[in-house]
């Protein structure tokens, strides 16, 4: 069977392509821009890639066209598919019908931490020798690929609330039918497709409706937005994760979250000592251990696995160190994620200076939905450097005027890099946050720091 994937270089669709190839299908695909790292992963799998959307790529016609959610009416390939009545399907529905139908699905949903928590959960199951399948929207540190079929009944999936396709505006995760569901957290996001928080809560409740009565849903005890979702109706087992009287608790042994105790039903189960930092990662780790326990993994094995966990790419990833200046890459692009990421780094580095750099690139950021909360999310930084993209519809100067930290706005990447080089000094930590490539700023900054400080 030959399937052709439109929008193949996205993390979800690229992972889907890998799974289809492992199932024995002939897989081809196209994207507007074919670029690493996904293009490299796909080519290594023997998947033929086409740049652009010339309809000639669909002649001769494949058996099935899988259409990504970045494709809209008016796209030449989409119009060709519809005009010639070629069979087509969304990525999430294809995944359900061809991969997930007979699996024990462990799904990780939430506004923040999906990639990291799904990576943790897949690694815990792998450590327990369960050989799970998985599809993760990032590059996990403990695996060489972002997706694989696995050989066990278990399949871990990052459950995204974004819509499926131009013809299916439901959230992707309603197709996954999980038996184990992690509800990590919930805030307003994706303002380009959701009018308000209530609309997202409705989709999360649709997801809960698909969990069987003998399935299990893990909720954070202290998340009011998810508590409201649960009160809309829940027909499955529930376990609360968090503090106080929750079934699962974590007690930090280190302020930066690099060590913590795991407690279940008031009994200490063990200690995690790992390379991750931040309160958010402690919560993510606790969720992963709890979810794995539902699949039969003993808590002590979950704890041992996390001690060997490696963070996914772009999650507080140390890109380099020059003249005592550390440069990090992080995916944070929502005020809460920015605040928690900075908080974790602050707890780790103490009084050392943190220079925070942000490119507001997500659709929600471009619309200015979070600009009121943005100023307060940088309290963990000493200085803030904003990059003003050309396609953003508001002035970042509106944020800097309300900040308690020195903040500057740049609309030229080279100028921004030069200022960072000039202002940084031995012992500083430069944290770069964006959900895109940010013009290759990390490598350019490290190269200029080496040149400035005379390092080879």
In sequence order, what are the residues at sequence separation of 6 or more whose Cβ sits closer than 8 angstroms to the Cβ of residue 72?
A: 78, 166
In angstroms, the Cα distances linking 26 to 63, 84, 183, 199 are 10, 21, 35, 38
**Does 116 count as an annotated binding residue?**
yes
Q: How far apart are CA 106 and CA 89, in angstroms?
A: 23
- Residue 150 assigned ligand-binding role: no
Residue 186 and residue 229 in contact, taking contact as beta carbons nearer than 8 Å: yes
Distance CA 49, CA 128 (A): 36
Alpha-carbon distances of 72 from 77, 164, 267, rounded to whole Å: 10, 12, 53
- Is 341 marked within a binding site? no
Question: Closest Cα to residue 3, out of 90, 133, 103, 105?
Answer: 90
CA pair distance 112, 183, nearest whole angstrom: 10
Asked whether 65 and 42 are in contact (CB, 8 A), the reply is no
What sign does the dihedral 26-30-35-37 (CA atoms) show?
Answer: negative
Asked if residue 302 belongs to a known ligand binding site, the reply is no
- Whether residue 439 is annotated as binding a ligand: the answer is no
429 is in an annotated binding site: no
Helix (H, G, I), strand (E, B) or coil at 237: strand
Task: Tell me if 6 sits within 8 A of 77, measured CB to CB.
Answer: yes
Task: Report whether 114 belongs to an annotated binding site.
Answer: yes
Binding residues for ATP: 110-116
Q: Which residues are annotated as a binding site?
A: 110-116
């Amino acid at each position: 069977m030959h399937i052709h994937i439109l929008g193949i270089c996205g993390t979800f669709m690229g992972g889907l392509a890998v799974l289809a190839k492992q199932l024995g299908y002939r897989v081809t695909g196209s994207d507007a821009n074919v670029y690493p790292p996904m293009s490299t992963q796909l080519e290594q799998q023997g998947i033929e890639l086409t740049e652009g959307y010339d309809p000639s790529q669909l002649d001769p016609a494949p058996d099935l066209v899988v259409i990504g959610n970045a494709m809209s009416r008016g796209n030449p390939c989409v119009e060709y598919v519809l005009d010639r009545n070629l069979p087509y399907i969304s990525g999430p529905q294809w995944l359900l019908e061809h991969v997930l139908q007979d699996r024990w699905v462990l799904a990780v949903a939430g506004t923040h931490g999906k990639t990291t928590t799904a990576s943790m959960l897949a690694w815990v199951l792998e450590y327990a020798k369960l050989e799970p399948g998985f599809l993760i929207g990032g590059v996990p540190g403990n695996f060489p690929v972002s997706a694989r079929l696995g050989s066990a009944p278990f399949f871990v999936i990052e459950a995204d609330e974004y819509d499926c396709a131009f013809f299916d505006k439901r959230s992707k995760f309603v197709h996954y039918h999980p038996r184990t569901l992690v509800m990590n957290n919930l805030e307003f996001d994706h303002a380009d497709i959701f009018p308000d928080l209530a609309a997202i809560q409705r989709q999360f409740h649709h997801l809960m409706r698909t969990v069987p009565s003998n399935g299990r849903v893990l909720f954070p005890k202290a998340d009011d937005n998810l508590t409201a979702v649960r009160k809309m109706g829940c027909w499955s087992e529930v376990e609360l994760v968090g503090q106080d009287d929750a079934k699962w608790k974590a007690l930090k042994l280190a302020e930066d979250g690099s060590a913590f105790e795991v407690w279940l039903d008031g009994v200490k189960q063990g200690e995690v000592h790992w390379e991750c930092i931040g309160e958010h990662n402690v919560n993510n780790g606790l969720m992963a251990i709890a979810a794995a326990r539902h699949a039969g993994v003993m808590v002590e094995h979950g704890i041992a696995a996390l001690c060997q966990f490696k963070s996914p790419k772009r999650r507080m990833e140390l890109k380099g160190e020059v003249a005592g200046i550390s440069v990090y890459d992080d995916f944070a692009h929502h005020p809460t994620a920015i605040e928690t990421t900075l908080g974790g780094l602050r707890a780790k580095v103490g009084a050392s200076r943190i220079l925070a750099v942000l490119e507001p690139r997500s659709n929600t950021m471009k619309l200015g939905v979070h600009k009121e909360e943005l100023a307060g999310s940088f309290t963990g930084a000493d200085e803030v450097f904003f990059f003003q993209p050309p396609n953003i519809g508001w002035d970042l100067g509106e944020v800097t005027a309300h900040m308690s930290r020195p903040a500057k706005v740049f609309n030229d990447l080279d100028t921004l890099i030069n200022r960072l080089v000039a202002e940084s000094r031995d012992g500083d930590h430069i944290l770069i946050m964006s959900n895109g490539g940010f013009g290759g700023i990390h490598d350019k900054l490290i190269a200029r720091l080496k040149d400035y400080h005379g390092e080879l």
